[in-house]
Amino acid sequence: MNTSRLRPALGLLLLLAATACSSGSGGGSASSTPTPAVSSSAAVSPSAASPSPSAVSSSASPSAAVSSPAAAVQVTIKEFTFGPDKFTVSPGAKVTVVNEDSTAHTLTATGKGGFDSGTIGGGKTATFTAPTAPGSYPFICSLHQFMKGTLTVA
């Protein structure tokens, strides 16, 4: 079985499951529809519906998005939170940032790496290219520095 085609689909399934488990805020409207935070260009085939035990990461948690590198990632900013706040991408992958808040935000590297989404107005979207060097890259919203996360290139 080709596990390279299976990994993006599994990552998306894990993310959706984690989102469903953590979405019970208690006072929100039941009419909002969650949007997957990770997108992948890989098509899901019928054989991908039956993952092998070795293809599933045992370290999945609500804050761990995808354990295998993704070709393209979408990060959603909602209620002053990055979702996911920790994610792994391939070197040079495109990262799309969707700002669902009404106020402006950024997704900006705090150290080496130099990536920056620029200021993203409320309801707007921006895309940047991830670093090509493997490693972990902490990031913040430069306008709201309590908003933090980590981009990992693998």
Per-residue pLDDT of 65-81, as tens digits, reads: 444 555 789 999 999 99
Does 10 or 85 have the greater pLDDT score?
Answer: 85
Residue 25 lies in a domain: no
Phi, psi of 20 (to 5 degrees): -65, -40
CATH no. for residue 85?
2.60.40.420
Residue (of 106, 116, 121) closest to 137 by Cα position: 116
pLDDT in tens, 95-130: 999 999 999 999 999 987 789 999 999 999 999 999
Residue 53 lies in a domain: no
Residue 148 lies in a domain: yes
The pLDDT value recorded for residue 50 is 40
Residue 12 lies in a domain: yes
Domain span at 10 = 3-20+36-42+59-153
Number of structural domains (the chain) is 1
Residue 136 lies in a domain: yes
pLDDT in tens, 35-65: 444 433 333 333 444 444 433 333 434 444 4
**116 sits in which H/E element:** none
Rounded to whole angstroms, the Cα distance separating 104 from 120 reads: 5
Residue 122 lies in a domain: yes
Residue 48 lies in a domain: no
1 neighbors 47 (Cβ within 8 angstroms): yes
ω into 84 cis (within 30 of 0):
yes
Residue 92 lies in a domain: yes
